[in-house]
């Protein structure tokens, strides 16, 4: 059988965390993988590979980067954006109002699937090729296997990679752990390390945080994660987390997580808005990874993580948008710019390439996915072509840094996932964007969400 080849030509520059810059480069993808690093000498030699017809994608003077990795999202919340009474309030108030909205909307697999399709389509149209979805809403009587299946099916339909995090927020510990095993057996049969062979589906576990879950939940999900080889994720050191830990245990959240076995290399901690210097060192020494979500935390007044300090201590940091209930958007590139803008207030300035690395390989490392977020030989052929020909990019001396500083709300011209073009000439090719939007809007109206 001949190999499937995609050749990206005409780029003015290619950037990857593992390669730096290549000028006037061509990128060659063979059977969903990067065949070789970008080269200025033209198409790479694929050796003895029997190639069939070559699909050429014109980058037209644009900038090529790896596909972005959104390391922390709540896809369901895309059906609950800008709800009245959910802006500029304390986190404890916000959590209660969101919970009321979920109950009133009667969350079920249909709503989960429609919201996920919209959020994942939005992600692709913003250059994000992999999304970690931390689902925390599990209504009584609704089958978790069907819920997870709705999210995985949505990702398949639009062509995105999905890391589905079976979360908890006050769920029964044993039932939650049992459902993880059932989801794995149903939707990832034969998967190794919680990732399917094609890399399009991943399963992880994740208590919401100790503000909602106690040691029994962390223990139960930790045990099923060890049994199945899954990554672990949780949210830590947010406003409500710190207050709840002090109230219930007289301790700091990270002290408890360390005691409960949740400060280890397979764990990713989201947010960390309230973290001391000694806790930065604690996280660094544990090998745990971190996800920064500035466009959730900062506008809501919940704080901002000291990202530069974490990076300077050797912590691997990814970037996430968090969900539509607090961020309202899934534009990771714009959030990378915000991360740069607020970083001096929490330590030192971030360079644009540090922020871009967080949005690519940083998030991939937190998922245990070294093949993502890079354009090195053998990496997954997930990449984005950014158009830089407009007036917003005129006069930009550094095209990669300019992606963030100039016109950060841009849409990508092309997006490729696993060697498959899913966005071409700014349009989603796997689904009708307007149809997806209309379907979710109809459901929101019918369920009176936001009314």
Predicted confidence pLDDT, tens digits, the chain (451 residues): 678 999 999 999 999 997 877 776 789 999 999 997 565 444 444 444 556 678 999 999 899 999 999 999 999 999 999 999 998 899 999 999 999 999 999 999 999 999 999 999 999 999 999 999 999 999 999 999 999 999 999 999 999 999 999 999 999 999 999 999 999 999 999 899 999 999 999 999 999 999 999 999 999 999 999 999 999 999 999 989 999 999 999 999 999 999 999 999 999 999 999 999 999 999 999 999 999 999 999 888 899 999 999 999 999 999 999 999 999 999 999 999 999 999 999 889 999 999 999 999 999 999 999 999 999 999 999 999 999 999 999 999 998 899 999 988 899 999 999 999 999 999 999 999 999 999 999 999 999 998 7
Angstrom distance (rounded) from CA 74 to CA 353:
26
Angle at 390 between CA 385 and CA 393, to 5 degrees: 80
In the block, which residue shows the tokens 């003015």? 12
Per-residue pLDDT at 38 = 65
Q: Which structure tokens are listed for 25? A: 């480069």
Per-residue pLDDT at 54 = 87
Per-residue pLDDT at 347 = 86
Contact 340, 302 (CB under 8 A): no
Angstrom distance (rounded) from CA 12 to CA 291:
31
Per-residue pLDDT at 48 = 41
Per-residue pLDDT at 301 = 86
**What angle separates helix 109-124 from helix 433-446, to the nearest 10 degrees?**
140
Q: Rounded to whole angstroms, what are the CA distances from 431 to 117, 121, 132, 159, 434?
A: 9, 8, 21, 9, 9
417 CB neighbour count, 10 Å cutoff: 26
* Contacts for 59 with CB less than 8 Å, ≥ 6 apart: 8, 9, 10, 11, 12, 385, 413, 414
In the block, which residue shows the tokens 């390989």? 361
* Contacts for 278 with CB less than 8 Å, ≥ 6 apart: none
* Contacts for 108 with CB less than 8 Å, ≥ 6 apart: 139, 142, 147
Angstrom distance (rounded) from CA 380 to CA 35:
9
* Sign, CA torsion 431/433/436/442: negative
Angstrom distance (rounded) from CA 192 to CA 202:
10
What is this structure's pTM?
A: 0.96
Per-residue pLDDT at 26 = 87
Q: Which domains does the chain have, with CATH numbers?
A: 3-66+379-428 (2.30.40.10), 68-366 (3.20.20.140)
Per-residue pLDDT at 41 = 41
In the block, which residue shows the tokens 């309202």? 328
Angstrom distance (rounded) from CA 421 to CA 217:
41
Buried b (16+ CB within 10 A) or exposed e, 76-109: bbbbbbebeebeeeebeebbebbeebbeebebbb
**Residues 344-398: tens digit of each pLDDT:** 998 899 999 999 999 999 999 999 999 999 999 999 999 999 999 999 999 999 9
Q: Which structure tokens are listed for 257? A: 């997580």
Angstrom distance (rounded) from CA 287 to CA 279:
13
Angstrom distance (rounded) from CA 115 to CA 125:
15
Q: Would you put residue 437 in left (φ > 0), alpha (ψ -120 to 50) or beta?
A: alpha
Per-residue pLDDT at 155 = 98
Nearest partner of 402 among 63, 18, 17, 39, judged by Cα: 63
At 64 the three-state DSSP class reads strand
**Residues 115-132: tens digit of each pLDDT:** 999 999 999 999 999 999
């Amino acid at each position: 059988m001949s190999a499937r080849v995609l050749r990206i030509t005409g780029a003015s520059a290619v950037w990857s965390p593992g390669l730096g810059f290549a000028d006037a480069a061509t990128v060659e993808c063979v059977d969903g993988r990067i065949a070789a690093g970008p080269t200025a000498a033209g198409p790479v030699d694929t050796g003895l590979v029997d190639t069939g017809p070559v699909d050429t994608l014109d980058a037209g003077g644009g900038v090529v980067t790896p596909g972005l990795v959104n390391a922390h999202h709540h896809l369901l919340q895309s059906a609950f954006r800008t709800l009245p009474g959910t802006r500029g309030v304390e986190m404890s108030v916000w959590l209660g109002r969101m919970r009321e909205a979920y109950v009133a909307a009667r969350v079920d697999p249909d709503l989960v699937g429609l919201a996920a399709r919209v959020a994942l389509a939005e992600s692709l149209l913003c250059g994000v090729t992999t999304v970690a979805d931390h689902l925390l809403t599990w209504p009584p009587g609704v089958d978790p296997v069907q819920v997870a299946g709705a999210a995985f099916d949505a990702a398949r339909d639009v062509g995105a990679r999905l890391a589905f995090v079976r979360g908890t927020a006050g769920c029964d510990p044993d039932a939650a752990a049992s459902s993880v095993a059932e989801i794995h057996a149903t939707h990832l049969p034969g998967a190794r390390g919680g990732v399917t062979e094609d890399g399009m589906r991943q399963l992880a576990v994740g208590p919401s945080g100790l503000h909602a879950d106690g040691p029994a939940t962390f223990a139960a999900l930790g045990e099923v994660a060890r049994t199945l080889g899954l990554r672990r994720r949780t949210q830590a050191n947010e406003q409500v987390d710190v207050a709840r830990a002090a109230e219930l245990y007289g301790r700091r959240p990270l002290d408890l997580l360390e005691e409960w076995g949740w400060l280890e290399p397979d764990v990713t901690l989201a947010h960390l808005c309230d973290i001391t210097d000694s806790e930065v060192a604690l996280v660094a020494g544990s090998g745990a990874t971190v996800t920064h979500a500035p466009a959730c935390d900062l506008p809501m007044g919940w704080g901002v993580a000291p990202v530069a300090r974490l990076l300077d201590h050797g912590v691997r940091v990814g970037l996430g948008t968090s969900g539509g209930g607090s961020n309202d958007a899934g534009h990771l590139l714009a959030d990378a710019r915000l991360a740069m803008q607020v970083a001096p207030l929490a330590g030192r300035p971030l360079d644009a390439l540090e922020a871009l690395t967080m949005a690519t390989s940083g998030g991939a490392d937190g998922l245990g996915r070294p093949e993502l977020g890079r354009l090195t030989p053998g990496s997954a052929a997930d990449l984005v072509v950014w158009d830089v020909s407009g007036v917003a990019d005129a006069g930009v001396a550094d095209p990669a840094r300019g992606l963030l500083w100039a016109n950060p709300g841009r849409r990508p011209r092309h997006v490729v996932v696993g060697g498959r073009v899913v966005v071409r000439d700014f349009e989603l090719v796997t689904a009708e964007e307007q149809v997806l939007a209309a379907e979710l809007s109809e459901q929101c109206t019918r369920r009176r969400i936001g009314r």
